[in-house]
Chains A and B, each alone.
Chain A
Amino acid sequence: MTQQHNLLARRRWLMLAGASTITALVPTIGWTDDEGDEDDSGSSTTAITPAATGLTGKMVVVGGGMAGVTAAKYLRLWGGSGLTITLVEPATTYVSNIMSNLVLNGSRTVTSLGYTHGNLSSKYGVNIVRASVTGIDKSARMITLSDGTQLPYDRLVLAPGVEFEDAYGLTQADYETRTPHAWRAGTQTQLLRDQLAAMSNGSTFVMTIPKAPYRCPPGPYERACLVADYLKTTKGTGSKVIVLDENLPTDPANPYSAIQAEAHTFTQAFSVIHAGVVDYQPGVTGIQIDPVTKAVSYTDRMGVARTVSAQVVNPIPPHRATGSSAGGWLTQAGLANSTNGKWAVVNVLSFESTAAGATGVHVIGDASQCGLPKAGHVANQEAKICADAIVRLLGGQQPAPAPVANSACYSPITATTASWLTAVYQYEGGVFKVANGGGVTAGAKPVESSSINSKNFQQMNTWFNTLMGDSFA
Chain B
Amino acid sequence: MKNNTIPRYRRSRVHLWLPLALAASLAACGGGSSPGASAGPTQVATFIDSPVEGLTFRSAKRSGLTDRNGNFPYTPGETVTFSIGNIVLGSVKPNGDKVTPLQLVPGAANATDARVTRILRTLQSLDSDGNLENGIQITAWAREIASLKTKIRLDDNKITDDEVKQRLPSGDYTRTAEDARKHYEDHAGDKSNGYLGYNNSGSGTGTPVAQPADTTGRLLASNCFQCHGTLGRGGFDNIRGGEAGEVREYLSKIASSDIMAAHAQGYTRAQLDAIVTYLNQP
Decide: B129 and A44 in contact? CB cutoff 8 A: yes
1/0 per residue, CB under 8 A from B, across A196-223: the answer is 0000000000000000000000000000
**Contact across chains for B19 and A30 when beta carbons are under 8 A apart:** yes
Please judge, given known A-B contacts A77-B211, A406-B223, whether A461 and B130 are in contact too, CB under 8 Å.
Answer: yes
Chain B residues, Cβ within 8 Å of A444: 266
B259 to A449, Cβ gap below 8 A?
yes
Q: How many inter-chain contacts with C-beta < 8 Å in the A-B complex? A: 261
B window 231-251: CB within 8 A of A: 231, 233-236, 251
Q: Is the CB of A404 within 8 A of B220?
A: yes
**Docked-complex contact B227 and A467, CB < 8 angstroms:** yes
Residue B209 at the A interface, CB < 8 A? yes
Contacts of A122 in B (CB 8 A): 12, 16, 204
Residue in A27, A381, A457 whose beta carbon sits within 8 Å of that of B223 in the complex: A381
Instruction: Confirm or deny: B153 has a beta carbon within 8 angstroms of a beta carbon on chain A.
Output: no
Check: B281 CB closer than 8 A to any chain A CB. Answer: no
> What is the number of residues of chain A that contact chain B, defined by CB distance less than 8 Å?
101
- Please indicate the chain B residues that have their CB under 8 angstroms from the CB of A466 in the complex: 129-130, 226-229, 234-236
Residues of B within 8 A of A438 (CB): 251, 265, 267-269
In the complex, which residues of chain B have a beta carbon less than 8 angstroms from the beta carbon of A283? Answer: none
Residue contacts A-B, CB under 8 angstroms, 25 given = A24-B1, A25-B11, A27-B18, A29-B16, A30-B19, A30-B20, A34-B23, A40-B139, A43-B53, A73-B230, A77-B230, A78-B218, A81-B9, A83-B9, A122-B12, A403-B219, A404-B267, A406-B266, A424-B223, A424-B263, A424-B267, A434-B266, A466-B130, A467-B226, A469-B230
Q: Does A149 contact B (CB under 8 A)?
A: yes
Of the listed stretches A45-53, A295-303, A328-336, A357-365, chain B binds A45-53
Are B226 and A58 interface neighbours, CB within 8 A?
no
Q: Which chain B residue has the least Cβ–Cβ distance from A384?
A: B222
In the assembled complex, the CB of B79 is this many whole angstroms from the nearest CB of chain A, namely 25
Instruction: State which residues 373-389 of A face B: CB under 8 Å.
Output: 377, 380-381, 384-385, 388
Evaluate contact between B271 and A448: CB separation under 8 angstroms.
no
Residues of B within 8 A of A420 (CB): 259
Binds B, one of A3-11, A104-112, A177-185, A230-238: A104-112
> Cβ of B97 < 8 Å from any Cβ of A?
no
Size of the B side of the interface (Cβ < 8 Å), in residues, is 81
**Residue pair A426, B130 in contact (C-beta under 8 Å):** no
Residue A423 is within 8 A (CB to CB) of chain B in the complex: yes
User: Which listed segment binds A: B70-78, B105-113, B142-150, B190-198?
Assistant: B142-150
Determine if A108 and B170 form an interchain contact, defined as CB atoms under 8 angstroms apart: yes
A458 to B172, CA, bound (A): 9
CB distance from B126 to the nearest CB of A (A): 10
Residues from chain B with Cβ under 8 Å of A30 in the complex = 19-20, 22-23
Task: Mark each residue of chain A from 368 to 408: 1 if its CB lies under 8 Å from any CB of chain B, else 0.
Answer: 00000000010011001100100000000000100111101
Q: A40-B139, A125-B13, A381-B226 are in contact. List 18 more A-B contacts (CB 8 A).
A: A30-B22, A43-B138, A44-B233, A46-B206, A46-B208, A47-B205, A47-B206, A48-B209, A50-B9, A78-B218, A126-B8, A438-B269, A439-B269, A463-B235, A466-B227, A466-B228, A470-B229, A473-B230
Would you give the 0/1 interface string for A115-151, flagging 1 where the beta carbon is closer than 8 Å to chain B? 0000001111111010000000000000000000111
Check A285 for interface membership: any CB of B closer than 8 A.
no
Docked-complex contact A447 and B262, CB < 8 angstroms: yes
Q: Which of B10, B23, B144, B230 has the most CB of A within 10 A?
A: B230
Partner of B222, one of A31, A149, A381, A450: A381
CB distance from B137 to the nearest CB of A (A): 3
A403 to B219, CA, bound (A): 7
Tell me the B residues contacting A by CB distance below 8 Å. Answer: 1-4, 7-13, 15-16, 18-20, 22-23, 26-27, 53-54, 68, 128-130, 137-141, 144-145, 147-148, 169-172, 174-175, 203-211, 215, 218-220, 222-223, 225-231, 233-236, 251, 254-257, 259, 262-263, 265-269, 271
Does A32 sit at the interface, judged by CB under 8 A? yes
Q: How far is B230's CA from A384's CA once the two chains are assembled, in angstroms?
A: 11
CB distance from B11 to the nearest CB of A (A): 7
**Chain A nearest Cβ from B136, distance in angstroms:** 9
A19 interfacial contact with B, CB 8 Å: yes
Partner of A385, one of B170, B219, B251: B219
Inter-chain contact B226/A121, CB cutoff 8 Å: no
B141 partner, pick from A40, A403, A424, beta carbons under 8 A: A40
Residue of A nearest to B23 (CB): A30
Q: Which of A58, A106, A416, A423 contacts B266 (CB 8 A)?
A: A423
Is the CB of A33 closer than 8 A to any CB of chain B? yes
Does A20 sit within 8 A of B, measured CB to CB?
yes
Q: Which residues of B contact A423 (CB under 8 A)?
A: 266
From the candidates B209, B265, B269, name the one contacting A49 in the complex (CB within 8 A).
Answer: B209
Does A152 sit at the interface, judged by CB under 8 A?
Answer: yes
Q: Tell me the smallest distance from the CB of A119 to a CB of chain B, in Å.
A: 9
